[in-house]
A and B are shown apart, each in its own frame.
Chain A
Amino acid sequence: MNNAALHERVEMRTLDNGLRICYLPKSGFSKTFAILAANYGSVDQSFTLAGRRYDMPAGVAHFLEHKMFEDEDGNALQKFAKTGASPNAFTGQDMTAYHFSCTERFAENLEILLKFVFTPYFTMENVAKERGIIAQEIRMMDDTPVWRTYTGLFRGLFHEHPARVPIAGSVESIAEITPEVLYTCHRAFYSPRNMALIVCGNADLSDICSMAARYSPKDAATIGERHYGKRRDAVAAPLVRQEMSVSQPQMFLGIKDKPLEEGESRLRRRILGELGVSLLCGDNAPLFAELYERRLINRNFDGDYKIIPEGATALFSGESRDPDTVRGSIEQEIARLAANGIDAARFSRTKKALYGLYLRVLDQPEEYARQQAEAVFAGENYLDFAVLFDTICEEDVRILFARWAQQDRSSLSVTEPKLTKEECTV
């Protein structure tokens, strides 16, 4: 299937300063969504800029995201409020993004977005105030079992990679963040060359471009050169255990894959990885039904495939009364499929189901724009998924499974129920 058959159009342009702009028209939609993203996330904490190496405190990208909203003339959130737009932002392992959605006064909102993201304004006072708010965000995440289990997995998968550290850092690490640290990170990564603006909805590309040209820096600053530590194929720890007040064990199983190769399509790798995960234990897989019937997993059990700079991993997550057995079953299935290959009917059915998920993204402006930002940073176009699906065959997945079946590739993060004092004394 080709892009045209999807009835979607992408208009792309790159400004002289290197800012990539992408417009995705959605006719019939009431809302327009805009996202201004920096190819910079929590894993980019160590870098070299102008000959000097910086090892920044953990959580700096996320702290910066919080602080960007503040400008000398007030908080951008309040400026958006006047138009009724809903603004927000997020920091991931490899991206920081600022966005809004609105149903009118788009140009006004876009101006606010561009201005605040390209204008750093940090003072000792406003940084200190934010520390209190972020400390509460960290405590909230500390109380969230799924999140704790997820971050535990990355400690198991990697030896040195900064993905080991939670995105927001810790209450201790953010205490070291100063206005100067934030200015340095902004200078190193918020260069228009390292950013992309994606608009999905009803707008006009040339209007977007002329506004972006007016409100972004004329010249692109040099981007920091990042360091992720030494690459290793094996996991750092096969098992990471924690205890929390939960009703039954929560698990994240990771199968460490090789990082993206030079010139390799990121989108194709992701499709391939997700296809592998679905074939093993996705909703429609026989193993899913078997584990469900044995009451080892429930309907919330989920699979994913994640690519980060210098790393990639398959993920399986959910609640289970026996995570070890679930892990054993999945590893066995990997070995079996790597050795015997995959049944053609099952392959075709799983691929169709995954294609259906990629297609559904086009109905969700926020998700579509986010996916497109990821694709743009990799020099790709999300809509090419339809073409890429056709290039993936059974043998590609078998090779993938052979890689996953190697020794020391899997790590299991488990959060087990904490025994209460009364139970301990029994």
Chain B
Amino acid sequence: MQEVTRKKLGAGVGLTCVTTPKFKRAVLRAALLLPLGGPDAANRAALPHILRRGTAKLRDLRAISAALGDLYGARIEAIVRREGESVAIGFLADCIRDEYAPGAERLTEKSVQLLCDMLYDPFLLNGFFSEAYTACERANLLDRIAAQMDDPRMYALLRLRDFMCADELYGQPTYGTTKQAEAITAEGLYAAYRRALEDARIELFYCGAMPPDNVAALFAATLPERENGSFYVPMVEVIPEPKTPPREYIETKDVTQGKLAMGFRTGGICMASGDSPAYRMFQVLYGGSTSSKLFLNVREKQSLCYYVNAQFAALKGLMIVNSGIENEKYDVAKAEILRQLELCQKGDFSDTEMEAARQTLINGWRALLDDPFAQERYWLEQAAAGTHVLPEEQIDQIRTVSRDRVTAAACATALDTAYFMKGAARQ
């Protein structure tokens, strides 16, 4: 069994410890939470990557690689992750426990130290990041921005967000704009780094066997001095209903299969407010499993697609339906997806479907406890929402959701924007 402990390590610094002996490793994260978008967006997206290049002690990739190898292949990877209207930048790490590493000692302690060195004590030249590292990471960031279109499934979702949330902070690109990225300089990047350290909400995470007090002491010893000013408080902007009648955008791309992405507003139901347990039940019943209405009708009955699903972006209060279909089946697929939603809104679902959705969710929350990386994502999302709900509490909430509440959640759902990427490639 596991214990979750939440500790405040200083002004604007929170640590979540999941204490359990069941894993053979420890999972760690140190992230700076900052607002999405703004003039620093591209700098922020480049930051963890340039910090990963060298610390004051280990000045280049070779030195860092060798150190990680000696820690039995501890892994420390840069993260740039959207969480609602926030972006989390920092590092995610894991290392195996000493008792499974012959001849090794204090692997976790050393990994925390290296992780924190990367975040707080970077390799500098003349007081700034090195020009060479900056040039390289600027180019890598431009590559990452361009590469977002390489996977058409992901790109369709991104385009939907561009169109649907164009007027919202949420619609800002994760990595900043190409123009911002091209303008990155060693000096500007370093200044953005100092600002980020001053302003950010710092979210730390540990999952493993070490007692929380020891973990807290390890992280606390590395924290930078910060002026006790105001730190970023993660914010979420929920738009309960579409502001216009449903919008539709169709683009042509060089793919063989059409990609359909539909964005719905949830009537304001999100992690921080409204009946989110009922919404989750509705989403699973509608399109969240292989016994959902979308899977059974759009795929199994009508053979329109291989994949079709509905996801609940709970932090923001959006539901997204996503499918790959033949180009000429756009109207048929879209109509069927909406018809299934209507059936949910009319309460046209069986008790068996209700219970299947409930069991799927309970199973999912329990399974979360077996995956340290899934728990890491869970707790960062909780931090971004400003909530602290245990997965076990989610299970209790799901148990009592009634049919009327599921219908109400479905009725709160309204289509905002449909995006279709039409394939132009020859088959």
Give the distance to chain A from B302, nearest Cβ to Cβ, in Å.
9
Chain B residues with Cβ under 8 A from A293's Cβ?
A: 61, 136
Chain A residues with Cβ under 8 A from B100's Cβ?
A: 5-6, 359
Q: Which of B41-82 contact A (CB under 8 A)?
A: 49, 60-62, 65-66, 68-70, 72-75, 77-78
Give the distance to chain A from B140, nearest Cβ to Cβ, in Å.
6
- A81 engages B289 (CB within 8 Å): yes
Q: Is A246 an interface residue (CB 8 A)?
A: yes
- A140 engages B153 (CB within 8 Å): yes
**Stretch in A16-24, A51-59, A280-288 touching the partner:** A280-288
Chain B residues with Cβ under 8 A from A418's Cβ?
A: 254
Chain B residues with Cβ under 8 A from A6's Cβ?
A: 100
Given contacts A103-B362, A103-B363, A352-B69, 14 further A-B contacts (CB under 8 A): A30-B367, A31-B366, A84-B363, A86-B289, A86-B364, A143-B153, A143-B255, A247-B147, A283-B68, A285-B65, A292-B61, A295-B136, A295-B140, A356-B101
**Stretch in B11-19, B181-189, B335-343, B352-360 touching the partner:** B352-360
Q: Which residue of A lies closest to B146 (CB)?
A: A247
- B147 engages A248 (CB within 8 Å): yes
Q: How far is the CA of A349 from the CA of B64 in the complex (A)?
A: 13
Interface centre among B296, B300, B304 (most CB of A within 10 A): B300
- B303 engages A139 (CB within 8 Å): no
- A residues apposed to B, CB below 8 Å: 1, 5-6, 26-31, 75, 77-78, 80-88, 101-104, 129-130, 132-134, 136-137, 139-140, 142-145, 171, 244-248, 250, 283-286, 288-289, 292-293, 295, 298-299, 319, 349-350, 352-357, 359-360, 362-365, 418
**Interface pairs (7), CB distance under 8 Å:** A86-B289, A132-B303, A286-B65, A288-B65, A293-B61, A349-B70, A356-B95
- B68 engages A284 (CB within 8 Å): yes
- A298 engages B306 (CB within 8 Å): no
Q: A319-B147, A360-B25, A365-B370 are in contact. Are A352 and B356 (CB under 8 A)?
A: no
Chain A residues with Cβ under 8 A from B116's Cβ?
A: none
- B74 engages A28 (CB within 8 Å): no
Partner of B290, one of A81, A102, A104: A81
Chain B residues with Cβ under 8 A from A349's Cβ?
A: 66, 69-70
- B151 engages A356 (CB within 8 Å): no
- A77 engages B291 (CB within 8 Å): yes
- B306 engages A355 (CB within 8 Å): no
- B291 engages A81 (CB within 8 Å): yes
Give the distance to chain A from B130, nearest Cβ to Cβ, in Å.
11
Give the distance to chain A from B287, nearest Cβ to Cβ, in Å.
13
Partner of B69, one of A75, A136, A145, A350: A350
Q: Which residue of A lies closest to B94 (CB)?
A: A360
Give the distance to chain B from A346, nearest Cβ to Cβ, in Å.
8
Render B217-244 as a binary contact track against A, CB cut-off 8 A, 1 for contact. 0000000000000000000000000000
Partner of B359, one of A77, A83, A133, A362: A83
Chain B residues with Cβ under 8 A from A104's Cβ?
A: 363
5 closest A-B pairs (Cβ-Cβ)? A84-B359, A353-B73, A81-B291, A132-B303, A356-B73
Q: A350-B69, A353-B69 are in contact. Are A247 and B257 (CB under 8 A)?
A: no
Chain A residues with Cβ under 8 A from B356's Cβ?
A: 81-82, 84
Q: Which residue of A lies closest to B49 (CB)?
A: A299
Chain A residues with Cβ under 8 A from B427's Cβ?
A: 139, 142, 171
- A28 engages B358 (CB within 8 Å): no
Q: How far is the CA of A357 from the CA of B73 in the complex (A)?
A: 7
Q: Which residue of A lies closest to B1 (CB)?
A: A28
- A31 engages B370 (CB within 8 Å): yes
- B96 engages A360 (CB within 8 Å): yes
Render B312-329 as a binary contact track against A, CB cut-off 8 A, 1 for contact. 000000000000111000
Chain B residues with Cβ under 8 A from A30's Cβ?
A: 366-367, 369-370
Q: Is B348 an interface residue (CB 8 A)?
A: no
- A86 engages B363 (CB within 8 Å): yes
Q: How far is the CA of A51 from the CA of B139 in the complex (A)?
A: 61
